[in-house]
Amino acid sequence: MDFIIDLLRGGLGIIVMIGVCYLLSNDRSAINWRLVIGGLALQIVLALLILKVPMIYAFFNFIADTFVALLGYAESGATFLFGAWPDDAYIQSTNFETGLQIPYKLGYMFAFKVLPTIIFFSAFSAILYYLGILQIIIYAFAKVMSKIMELSGAESLAAAANVFIGQTEAPLVVKPFLENMTRSEIMCLMTGGMATIAGGVFALFVSIIGDEYAIHFLTASIISAPAAIVAAKIMYPETEPDKTNDSLEIPKDKIGNNLLDAIAIGTTDGVKLAVNVGAMLLVFISLVALVNGALYFFADLVVLDNLIVDGETVKFTLNDKISQLTNGRFAGFNLEYILGLLFAPIAWLLGVEYADITLVGQLLGKKTVINEVIGYVDLQALMNNPDVNLSPKSIIIATYALCGFSNFSSIGIQIGGISSLAPNQRPTLTELGVKALIGGTIACFITGAIAGVLV
């Protein structure tokens, strides 16, 4: 019975997401519904194969475990540079705006364990690309998607590349096609970048949430690729098929002149990404705390009632009311509570337990407004808070729904990165930025809905 309810709610969530894409479509009459059905079927079949077929699950779990093992090698270098962290340093602090207990050790992990893994994985990815291994994997995925979804060569290659490398590196795979790509192809490229993650960030998320979730991050990135194509092709269907190119030829360009040069370039790129992630965390967490402090302060001035407690008059404020309504899960009026209310209906559509929809909703909101790293940091804090008790199902759905680069800052990243390779496409990139963000977000939500049914 529970499975039937999950199936109906997940199906409703997918239909609503597809409906939103349809309403935002620039040419509804041109939508290729065979592509849409094929894309959704491919996503569901991939999810079933990876998560429910023991032999295939074992294979992908082996890949995920290999990534986790690589994290250990990365930690060896970090430990050499920064030393070991004493086990008794796991102290907790309570944030008065959210009521969350945040371990101090998390900050150390980010600075000296997690961020170095980004550098290591960036260098490792550069090695795989230089040796041509990554291109073979990308070609295999592209071949499957081009056959099932009738995509152009550039779209297939870009979608496959986005599964394994970042939204700024994936366009390099289709560099020869970029200047002549149609608006629909550019939309597909951008949406795919928004809906998936890169290898270095995969390592980051595993470090935050835990090794046991590695298989889910890998699955989420793989099955979000066809979902991104579906969203993009509904919102901006192809109207110029004569201008597309069916070639699946991957450029022969290699990163660096030799293997050592490739490692050096990958390391440099990793340092830039790690510094960027660390700086964004520092600034955005501080800004969120500032906003929360202001909201909490003004909500404390809103007196809803005066209570008599032990003969004394006590003010019952808006913060007290919110804490009462949420059973203490929110200490008062703050950004998390606002985002939670706005995204709670979406969380319910994805299959999140009713008691958790506001908490998961605030994670979805933060991921979209700020970035997915903040979302996972908050998810980890919620998982470690004994007063919250998020259900395992809600945690899994949040893990899948947060797994993508779809946030406002990614619009700027893509415009800058892709336009540097094809300057003539800059006007198209700027016009499609917000649509690609919406499409990528919806793709992640569809993936979350499927996970809510299957996991």
Residue 88 has pLDDT above 70, yes or no: no
Residue-level pLDDT at 110: 66
**Residue 247: other Cβ atoms inside 10 A:** 13
Residue of 381 and 172 predicted with greater confidence? 381
Q: Calculate Rg over the CA atoms of the chain.
A: 23
Report pLDDT digits (tens) over 261-285. Answer: 988 988 888 888 778 777 777 777 7
Least confident of 61-65, 151-155, 313-317, 447-451: 313-317
Residue 399 has pLDDT above 80, yes or no: yes
What does DSSP say about strands 101-103 and 92-94: parallel, antiparallel, or unpaired? Answer: antiparallel
Residue 100 has pLDDT above 50, yes or no: no
Residue 234 has pLDDT above 90, yes or no: yes
Question: What is the average pLDDT across 81-100?
Answer: 50
Residue of 44 and 95 predicted with greater confidence? 44
DSSP 183-250: HHHHHHHHHHHHH---HHHHHHHHHHH-GGGHHHHHHHHHHHHHHHHHHHHHHS--S-GGG-----PP
Least confident of 149-153, 375-379, 422-426, 438-442: 149-153
Residue-level pLDDT at 90: 44
Give 99's pLDDT tier (boundaries 50, 70, 90).
Answer: very low
Domain count, the chain: 1
Burial track 394-430 (b if 16+ CB lie within 10 A, e otherwise):
bbbbbbbbbbbbbbeebbebbbebbbeebeebeebbe
The full length of the chain comes to 455
Residue of 248 and 434 predicted with greater confidence? 434
Report pLDDT digits (tens) over 346-387. Answer: 999 999 998 899 889 989 988 888 888 888 988 988 888 877
SS (H, E, C) 392-444: HHHHHHHHHHCCCCCCHHHHHHHHHHHHHHCHHHHHHHHHHHHHHHHHHHHHH
Give 253's pLDDT tier (boundaries 50, 70, 90).
Answer: low
Question: What is the average pLDDT across 429-433?
Answer: 91
Q: CA angle 283-389-285, nearest 5°?
A: 5
Kindly state the percentage of the chain with pLDDT values over 90.
28
Residue-level pLDDT at 363: 92
Burial track 116-144 (b if 16+ CB lie within 10 A, e otherwise):
bbbbbbbbbbbbbbbeeebbeebbebbee
Residue-level pLDDT at 412: 81
Domain holding 439, by residue range, is: 2-443+447-451
Kindly state the percentage of the chain with pLDDT values over 70.
89
Residue-level pLDDT at 15: 94
Question: What is the average pLDDT across 317-324?
Answer: 85
Distance between start and end Cα atoms, the chain: 16
Residue 396 has pLDDT above 90, yes or no: yes
Give 310's pLDDT tier (boundaries 50, 70, 90).
Answer: low
Give 249's pLDDT tier (boundaries 50, 70, 90).
Answer: confident
Q: What is the mean pLDDT of the chain?
A: 83
Residue 93 has pLDDT above 50, yes or no: no
Report pLDDT digits (tens) over 408-418. Answer: 878 888 888 88
Residue 105 has pLDDT above 70, yes or no: no
Tokens 């660390």 locate to 278
Give 155's pLDDT tier (boundaries 50, 70, 90).
Answer: confident
Question: What is the average pLDDT across 226-241?
Answer: 91
Cα of 262 vs its chain's centroid, Å: 27
